[in-house]
A = this chain, B = another copy of it.
Amino acid sequence: MNDKTLLMIPGPTPVPESVLLEMAKPPIPHRSSEFSKIFDEVNEDLKWLFQTKNDVFIFASSGTGAMEAAISNLVNPEDKVLSLVIGNFGERWAKIAESHGAIAERITVPYGEAIDPDVLRKRLDEDINKEIKIVTLTQSETSTGAVNDVKALCEIIRAHGAISVVDGVTSVGAMDIRPDEWGIDVLVSGSQKGFMIPPGLAFLTANERAFDVHKKCKYPGFYFNWSSYKKSLAQHTTPYTPAINLIVALHRTLKMLREEGLENIFARHKSNAMLLRNSLREIGLKLFVEDDNKASFAVTSVYPPDGVSVSDIRKILKDDYDIIVTNGQNDLKDKIFRIGTLGYISERDILTVVAAIENTIKKLK
Where the two chains meet, the residues of A that have a C-beta atom closer than 8 Å to any C-beta of B are: 5, 7, 9, 11-12, 14-15, 20-21, 23-32, 59-65, 67-68, 71-72, 77, 92, 95-96, 99-101, 190, 192, 198-200, 218-225, 239-246, 324, 326
Contacts and interface: CB of A to CB of B under 8 A. Distances in A.
A65 B223 contact: yes
A219 B60 contact: no
What number of copies of this chain does the assembly contain?
2
Contacts of A225: 99
A95 B62 CA distance: 24
Contacts of A27: 7, 12, 15, 192, 198-199
B68 A221 contact: yes
A88 B5 CA distance: 46
Contacts of A32: 324
29 contacts: A5-B26, A7-B27, A7-B29, A11-B241, A12-B29, A14-B26, A20-B24, A23-B24, A24-B24, A30-B199, A31-B326, A60-B60, A61-B223, A62-B223, A68-B223, A68-B224, A95-B222, A96-B221, A99-B221, A99-B222, A100-B221, A100-B222, A101-B218, A192-B244, A198-B244, A199-B242, A200-B243, A221-B221, A243-B243
Given A27-B199, A29-B324, A192-B241, 14 more contacts: A5-B28, A12-B29, A23-B245, A29-B326, A61-B61, A63-B240, A64-B222, A64-B240, A65-B65, A68-B221, A68-B224, A99-B222, A199-B242, A221-B221
Contacts of A7: 26-27, 29
Contacts of A11: 241
A243 B243 CA distance: 10
B25 A20 contact: yes
Contact of A241 (B21, B23, B26, B199): B199
Nearest to A318: B32
A20 B26 contact: yes
Contacts of A200: 60, 200, 243-246
A63 to B, nearest CB: 7
A319 to B, nearest CB: 13
A14 B27 CA distance: 7
A67 to B, nearest CB: 8
For A29, A63, A101, A198, the residue with the greatest tally of chain B CB atoms inside 10 Å of its CB is: A198
Contacts of A219: 77, 99-101, 219
A276 to B, nearest CB: 19
A283 to B, nearest CB: 24
A234 B144 CA distance: 27
A72 B221 CA distance: 8
A246 B12 CA distance: 13
Given A29-B7, A72-B221, A225-B99, A62 B23 contact: no
Contacts of A71: 222
A251 to B, nearest CB: 14
A324 B32 CA distance: 10
A240 B15 contact: no
Contacts of A61: 59-61, 65, 223
A244 B12 contact: yes
Contacts of A199: 27, 30, 60, 241-244
Contacts of A220: 99
A360 to B, nearest CB: 18
